[in-house]
Structure 1
């Protein structure tokens, strides 16, 4: 089943093999970074990254970038 979410304000087709937030972060190559994840306007704690992604979910991912 195809799932379409809103990811950081843009439409995103979730690949079939992505079922939860942790898998989405891995797919986006953000699994090893320090991130803040918001799902449907609620902050998701790291121990809840196994929460399933559903059609029409709104997900915001903020990651920090170093530099000067």
Structure 2
């Protein structure tokens, strides 16, 4: 299935979860995840199934002043 992760087209297996997508990115905490502009709590990464055309953003905190 095709999804957009951080504005990049990505192909994932059918029924992939947010956790699966994060594994392909080798994402390292801290970060937050939104799918189709809706926040996904980290407790739901393994159960939140992605669908064809979903847009996922992995957002890292910004520090500084």
TM-score (norm 1): 0.74
CA RMSD of aligned residues (A): 2.2
- Is the partner of 1:5 in helix, strand or coil? strand
Structure 1 gap segments, 5+ residues each: none
Q: Does structure 2 retain, via aligned residues, the 8 Å contact 1:18–1:24?
A: no
Q: Which runs of 5+ in 2 are unaligned?
A: none
Runs of 4+ that moved beyond 2 A: 63-66
For this pair of structures, how many residues does the alignment match?
Answer: 62
CA distance in 2, matches of 1:39, 1:6: 10
TM normalised by structure 2 equals 0.77
Q: Partner of 1:52: helix, strand, or coil? A: coil
